[in-house]
């Protein structure tokens, strides 16, 4: 049984299979609807944090595939508070055929996977957001027709989103340049793990240097969920890392802009860029649905491929 906890757990071949499957499921859906590959199956969705895209796309994805999704709110589940993660995983495994969880501590994802007897999907933790990275790669594949060799510049906080993006870049043969202020750059561990994956990575404090020659400019919030107490401090440090028209003008003319959303318009990205001609933000958000359908089918259907 496979889980989907981190991009780094997957080989290039398996990730390429997921992208092909996502394209196929998207085409199938656009041509009248998906076959019920997950007929009668139920996904339990544990949320410790708010969500629009993750919650709705998993729910709708299960519906399109003939299954059902159950939303379990923070108040109901009380992960590790009302009940231990190990007990929750074992109880849910008796009812549902898959678990998707959005948690504060990545350890909760690992514990769920350890104790669950059904596949567990990471719907965002403090460490990573692998489902987002698959939607990002699907969007770039649709736009450029390939992934290998794409130059991705990420400007902003080195958070969960960019770690998964960088892991995906390594697996799909893209290069990454990351611009962040001192004190907000990749940890030593993250750095080492990305180099170990063979990522062509450059790190700088200079946003302009990072976007030069970039095919893709990506940014995310300066303050992730759970870091709200640091928001004021971060607002002082991050303004030079705003993705605005002036920064975009320094990149390739064909460069596209991505943001996982929600956007804090006027902070990490301006309205002009988010709504501009180079923005793929809403195609990217829509692709959460298709990328995740591939993950769900890969993990939960009867006819699984083994890698």
**Residue 281 touches which of ligand NVA, ligand CP, none (Cβ within 5-8 Å per kind):** none
**Residue 159 touches which of ligand CP, ligand NVA, none (Cβ within 5-8 Å per kind):** ligand NVA
Q: Which residues bind ligand CP (CB under 6 A)?
A: 51-54, 124, 132, 260-262
- Chosen residue from 161, 201, 289, 295 binding ligand NVA by CB under 6 A: 161
Cβ closest to ligand CP, residue 108 vs residue 115: 108
Cβ closest to ligand NVA, residue 160 vs residue 180: 160
Of the candidate spans 5-13, 64-72, 170-178, 220-228, the one that interacts with ligand NVA by CB under 6 A turns out to be: 220-228
Of the residues 220, 242, 284, 290, which is catalytic? Answer: 220
Cβ closest to ligand NVA, residue 161 vs residue 297: 161
Of the residues 102, 234, 290, 298, which is catalytic? Answer: 102
To the query of whether residue 132 is one of the catalytic residues in this protein, the response is: yes
Q: Count of residues binding ligand NVA (CB under 6 A)?
A: 9
To the query of whether residue 260 is one of the catalytic residues in this protein, the response is: yes
Q: How far is the CB of 284 from ligand NVA (least distance, A)?
A: 12
- Chosen residue from 128, 221, 284, 287 binding ligand NVA by CB under 6 A: 221
- Chosen residue from 6, 48, 136, 220 binding ligand NVA by CB under 6 A: 220
Residue nearest to ligand NVA (CB): 224
DSSP the chain: ---B--GGGS-HHHHHHHHHHHHHHHHHHHTT----TTTT-EEEEEESS--SHHHHHHHHHHHHTT-EEEEE-HHHH-BTTTB-HHHHHHHHHTT-SEEEEE-SSHHHHHHHHHH-SS-EEE---SS--HHHHHHHHHHHHHHHS--TT-EEEEES---HHHHHHHHHHHHHT-EEEEE--TTSSPPHHHHHHHHHTT-EEEEES-HHHHHTT-SEEEE--SS-TT-GGGHHHHHHHSGGG-B-HHHHTTS-TT-EEEE-S---BTTTB-HHHHTSTTB-HHHHHHHHHHHHHHHHHHHHSSS----
To the query of whether residue 220 is one of the catalytic residues in this protein, the response is: yes
Q: How far is the CB of 51 from ligand NVA (least distance, A)?
A: 8
**Residue 128 touches which of ligand NVA, ligand CP, none (Cβ within 5-8 Å per kind):** none
Which of 247, 250, 258 shows the shortest CA–CA distance to 281? Answer: 258
Can residue 224 be called a binding residue for ligand NVA (CB under 6 A)?
A: yes
Q: How far is the CB of 7 from ligand NVA (least distance, A)?
A: 15
**Residue 63 touches which of ligand CP, ligand NVA, none (Cβ within 5-8 Å per kind):** none
Using a 10 angstrom Cβ sphere, with 0-12 exposed, 13-18 middle and 19 or more buried, the burial of residue 143 is middle
**Residue 52 touches which of ligand CP, ligand NVA, none (Cβ within 5-8 Å per kind):** ligand CP
The pair of structure tokens assigned to 163 is: 């770690």
Using a 10 angstrom Cβ sphere, with 0-12 exposed, 13-18 middle and 19 or more buried, the burial of residue 292 is buried
List the Cα angle 7/9/11 in 5-degree steps: 85
Can residue 260 be called a binding residue for ligand NVA (CB under 6 A)?
A: yes
Can residue 48 be called a binding residue for ligand NVA (CB under 6 A)?
A: no
List the Cα angle 23/276/207 in 5-degree steps: 95
**Chain contacts with ligand NVA (rule: CB under 6 A):** 124, 159-161, 220-221, 224-225, 260
Which residues carry out catalysis? 102, 129, 132, 220, 260, 288
């Amino acid at each position: 049984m496979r889980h989907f906890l981190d991009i780094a757990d997957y080989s290039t071949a398996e990730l390429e299979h997921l992208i092909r499957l996502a394209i196929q499921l998207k085409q199938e859906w656009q041509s009248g609807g998906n076959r019920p590959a997950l007929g009668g199956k139920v996904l339990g969705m544990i949320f410790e944090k708010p969500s629009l895209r993750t919650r709705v796309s998993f729910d709708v994805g299960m519906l399109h595939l003939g299954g059902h999704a159950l939303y379990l709110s923070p108040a109901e589940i009380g992960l590790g508070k009302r009940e231990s993660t190990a007990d929750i995983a074992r109880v849910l495994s008796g009812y549902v055929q898959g678990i998707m969880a959005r948690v504060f501590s990545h350890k909760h994802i690992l514990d769920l996977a350890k104790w669950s007897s059904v596949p567990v999907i990471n719907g965002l933790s403090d460490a990573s957001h692998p489902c987002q990275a698959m939607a990002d790669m699907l969007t770039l594949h649709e736009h450029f027709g390939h992934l290998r060799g794409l130059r991705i510049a990420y400007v902003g906080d080195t958070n969960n989103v960019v770690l998964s993006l960088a892991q995906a870049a390594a697996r799909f043969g893209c290069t990454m340049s990351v611009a962040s202020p001192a004190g907000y750059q990749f940890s030593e561990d993250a750095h080492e793990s990305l180099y170990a994956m063979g990522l062509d990575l450059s790190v700088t404090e200079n946003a302009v240097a990072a976007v030069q020659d970039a095919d893709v400019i990506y940014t995310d919030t300066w303050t992730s969920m759970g870091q709200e107490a640091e928001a004021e401090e971060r607002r002082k440090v991050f303004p030079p890392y705003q993705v605005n028209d002036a920064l975009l003008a320094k990149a390739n003319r064909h460069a596209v802009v991505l943001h996982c959303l929600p956007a804090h318009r006027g902070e990490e990205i301006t309205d002009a860029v988010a709504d501009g001609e180079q923005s793929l933000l809403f195609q990217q958000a829509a692709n959460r649905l298709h990328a995740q359908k591939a993950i769900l089918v890969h993990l939960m259907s009867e006819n699984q491929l083994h890698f």
